Amino acid sequence: MGLATLPVVHDGIDDAQEFLCARCAKRQETCCQHTDIVLTDGDIERVSAHIGRRDFIEFRSAGKPEYLDQDDDPLWRDATFQPDGTRRVVKHHENGDCTFLGPVGCTLPYETRPLICRLYPFDYTEAGVAEELATGCPRHLLPEGVGLADALAMNRTDAERWHGQLYSELRSDLAARQAGAYQ
Ligand code: SF4
Ligand code: SF4
């Protein structure tokens, strides 16, 4: 999620050269607000090792109807949904902001962020990373001739690496849950 990489904020200035996530944050709800950030065991270990606590986790029902439509990705569905329909996610503040969202973006280093944050706006299932990017980013704010991935300083090679790590961790989480060890 690009908000974590906000380099500059020019308050009140509509600067077309400004990083896309900064422009996004001035105009719309971003991917760090009212979003369910599902956590793998690996995410929890990496984040808790960095911040020294584990109080950023909660179990919550899917916050958006589309989160329930996972038939094209049964591993994701089975590894992330609990029998009661909740999922293990990052806590929100009352206003819907992610608990790690600070005034200039994510407060976690990039390689510590939950894997699904690092992957956004790449879209994917277990089968792989999709050609098309997700639709939540404000493409109308892109500088002329610049693609979304380039504007966010993201690339497919990293996305495929994180995708492989994510699904490897989901398989481990599912196995742990089936063995009764999932928390
Ligand atoms: S929705 Fe897209 S442009 Fe907006 S903060 Fe997230 S990654 Fe950046
Ligand atoms: S962990 Fe960071 S990148 Fe992910 S939703 Fe929270 S603030 Fe955004």
What does the pLDDT read at residue 86? 95
For the chain, residues with pLDDT lower than 70 are 1-15, 181-183
* Distance between Cα 129 and ligand 1 center (Å): 18
* Distance between Cα 54 and ligand 2 center (Å): 16
Dihedral Cα 149, 104, 31, 43, nearest 10 deg: 90
What does the pLDDT read at residue 89? 97
| Residue to mutate, 8, 20, 106, ligand 1, most ligand atoms under 8 Å from C-beta | 20
What does the pLDDT read at residue 182? 58
What does the pLDDT read at residue 9? 41
C-alpha pair distances (Å), 122 with each of 92, 159, 172, 182: 23, 7, 22, 27
Dihedral of alpha carbons 170, 120, 123, 65, sign:
positive
Task: Select from 87, 103, 108 the least CA-distant residue to 35.
Answer: 87
What does the pLDDT read at residue 68? 81
- The answer to whether residues 107 and 96 touch, using CB atoms and an 8 Å cutoff, is no
| Residue to mutate, 117, 154, 162, ligand 2, most ligand atoms under 8 Å from C-beta | 117
